[in-house]
């Protein structure tokens, strides 16, 4: 099966083939062109008049399939009532005392059947696809017990997530201490089949010493270490994560200025989550400074029922451009090639001959994605060489 996308006004291309990530987005090229895919892979950067199907994409742009490298799928239900409380001024402590927060999601998950959890996650996954997301990461974290976390690993696999991250250290379960629960995290890491390990370091969750310990556990298990850090406070977790060899540090709304240059110089991605920043009324991560210092910049939805019920990467691109002062190509790089590197998926994320044919056709130039904010610009989605979604 050969498919040609013919005559795009823009094709987003990396500075050269074979790069694992790109630090300087100015090197990303936007050129008019065509793309031909064959047997699931990108076969040529030109059109093939003899292709089985030729799609005219004149006036549009072809970009790599979007990669959402930080989501909290699968979860159960939503927490819209809490959002209304939050924006009308009810303190989080009061919401949490009333049984809200992560505890509410953990309770909803425990009460939901596997079928109900998967049905909700699949519906979200389908909406993500319609917004151009062809690769998605899923995390555990709402189990809050060893059995609950094992169940979430199984459900994330059943969902078909491209990567499953064990966020066993998400919240300290009631009656546990952070250090005591880390013993359970150690056991879960040893017994569960996950592609990475993650931790939430914050005053209300885990500590830098727990992050250091998770680094040792990840090294033992041979999986990448990721960490939620500096979301509400500057806990100085970034140097700890870098020393532990983390693949990514995520959030960074309160990144300490002294930690910016070491992070930018490291082979560790800065995963920024502007949806959570906006809806949680958090500080704004120093996205512009990180990009100018040469960090491996990434954005993701952080899709979760509490702080970021957001599933659209085009929307996240719009937020990143406005709030970080990025170009559209910088923001698109951050949710394609650089995001695929976070997940260790070097077969995708950029338009290169031989790579997996995950492609998104936009109905206008890439600069319209952030500019026409909140609108879905996706016209056609191709995953593994097949058309999987088409705008009616």
Out of 302, 338, 358, 383, which residue is the one contacting Zn ion (CB under 5 A)?
302
Closest separation in Å from C-beta 252 to Zn ion:
12
Nearer to Zn ion, 48 or 137 (CB): 137
Please tell me the count of residues contacting Zn ion according to CB under 5 A.
1
Query: Least separation, in Å, of the C-beta of 273 and Zn ion?
Result: 7
**C-alpha distances out from residue 124 to 40, 63, 74, 110, Å:** 24, 22, 9, 19
Q: Map the footprint of Zn ion across residues 8-67, applying CB under 5 A.
A: none
By beta-carbon proximity to Zn ion, the closer residue of 149 and 302 is 302
* Part of the chain binding Zn ion (CB under 5 A), chosen from 13-21, 155-163, 173-181, 296-304: 296-304
Q: Which residues contact 244 (CB under 8 A, 6 or more apart)?
A: 211, 212, 214, 215, 216, 218, 219, 225
Whichever of 204 and 293 has its CB closer to Zn ion, that residue is 204
Residues 317, 143: Cα–Cα separation, whole Å: 30
Contact string 243-282 vs Zn ion (x = CB under 5 A): ----------------------------------------
Provide the 3-class DSSP secondary structure of residue 10.
Answer: strand
Contact assessment for residue 351 and residue 13, using Cβ atoms and an 8 Å cutoff:
yes
Residue with Cβ nearer Zn ion (55 or 343): 343
CA–CA gap between residue 164 and residue 380 (Å, rounded): 26
Span from 158-166, 170-178, 297-305, 355-363 in contact with Zn ion (CB under 5 A): 297-305
Nearest approach, Cβ of 91 to Zn ion (angstroms)? 22
Q: Which stretch binds Zn ion (CB under 5 A): 3-11, 28-36, 103-111, 302-310?
A: 302-310
Binding string to Zn ion for residues 205 to 244, with x set by CB under 5 A, is what?
A: ----------------------------------------
Q: Give the phi and the psi of residue 258 in degrees, each rounded to 5.
A: -70, -15
Q: Nearest distance from residue 106's CB to Zn ion, in Å?
A: 15
Minimum separation from the CB atom of position 301 to Zn ion (A)? 9
Q: State the nearest-atom distance from the C-beta of 272 to Zn ion, in Å.
A: 12
CA angle 254, 259, 264 (to 5 degrees): 105
From 27-35, 124-132, 299-307, 381-389, span contacting Zn ion (CB under 5 A): 299-307
Task: Give me the DSSP letters along 195-257.
Answer: SEEEEBBSTTSB-HHHHHHHHHHHHHHT--BEEEESSSS----HHHHHHTT-SEEEE-TT--G
**Window of 79-87, 122-130, 295-303, 309-317 that interacts with Zn ion by CB under 5 A:** 295-303
C-beta of 37 vs 254, nearer to Zn ion: 254
Is 137 an interacting residue with respect to Zn ion (CB under 5 A)?
no
Q: What token pair was written down for 165?
A: 């991250």
Compute the least distance from the CB of residue 229 to Zn ion, in Å. Answer: 11
Q: Any long-range contacts for 51-54 (C-beta under 8 Å, 24+ apart)?
A: 51/2, 51/3, 51/4, 52/1, 52/2, 52/3, 53/1, 53/2, 53/3, 53/4, 54/3, 54/4, 54/6
Asked if residue 297 lies in contact with residue 21, where contact means CB atoms within 8 angstroms, the answer is: no
Residues near Zn ion, by CB under 5 A: 302
């Amino acid at each position: 099966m050969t498919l040609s996308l013919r005559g795009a006004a823009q094709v987003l291309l990396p500075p050269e083939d074979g790069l694992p990530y790109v630090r300087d987005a100015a090197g990303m090229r936007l050129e008019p062109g065509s793309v031909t895919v064959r047997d699931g892979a990108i076969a040529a950067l030109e059109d093939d008049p003899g292709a089985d199907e030729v799609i005219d994409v004149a006036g549009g742009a072809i970009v790599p399939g979007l990669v959402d490298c930080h989501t909290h799928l699968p979860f159960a239900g939503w927490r819209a009532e809490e959002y209304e409380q939050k924006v009308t001024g009810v303190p989080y402590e009061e919401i949490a005392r009333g049984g809200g927060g992560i505890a509410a999601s953990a309770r909803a998950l425990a009460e939901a059947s596997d079928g109900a959890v998967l049905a909700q996650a699949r519906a979200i996954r389908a909406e993500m696809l319609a917004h151009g997301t062809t690769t998605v990461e899923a995390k555990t974290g709402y189990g809050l017990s060893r059995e609950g976390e094992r169940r979430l690993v199984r459900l994330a696999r059943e969902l078909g997530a491209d990567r499953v991250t064990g966020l066993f250290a998400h919240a300290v379960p009631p009656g546990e201490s952070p250090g005591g629960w880390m013993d359970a995290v150690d056991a879960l890491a040893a017994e569960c089949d996950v592609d990475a390990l993650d931790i939430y370091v914050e005053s209300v969750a885990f500590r830098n010493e727990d992050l250091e310990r998770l680094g040792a556990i990840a090294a033992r298990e041979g999986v990448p270490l990721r960490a939620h850090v500096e979301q509400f406070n500057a806990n100085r977790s970034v140097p700890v994560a870098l020393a532990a060899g983390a693949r990514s540090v995520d959030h960074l709304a309160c990144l300490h200025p002294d930690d910016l240059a070491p992070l930018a110089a490291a082979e560790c991605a800065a995963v920024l989550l502007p949806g959570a920043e906006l809806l949680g009324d958090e500080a704004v991560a120093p996205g512009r400074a990180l990009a100018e210092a040469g960090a491996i910049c990434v954005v993701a939805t952080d899709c979760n029922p509490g702080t970021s019920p957001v599933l659209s990467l085009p929307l996240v691109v719009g937020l990143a451009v406005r709030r970080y002062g990025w170009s559209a190509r910088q923001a698109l790089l951050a949710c394609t090639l650089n995001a695929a590197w976070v997940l260790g998926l070097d077969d995708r994320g950029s338009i290169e001959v031989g790579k997996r044919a995950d492609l998104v056709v936009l109905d206008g130039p890439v600069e319209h994605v952030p500019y026409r904010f909140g609108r879905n610009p996706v016209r056609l989605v191709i995953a593994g060489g097949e058309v999987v979604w088409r705008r009616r």
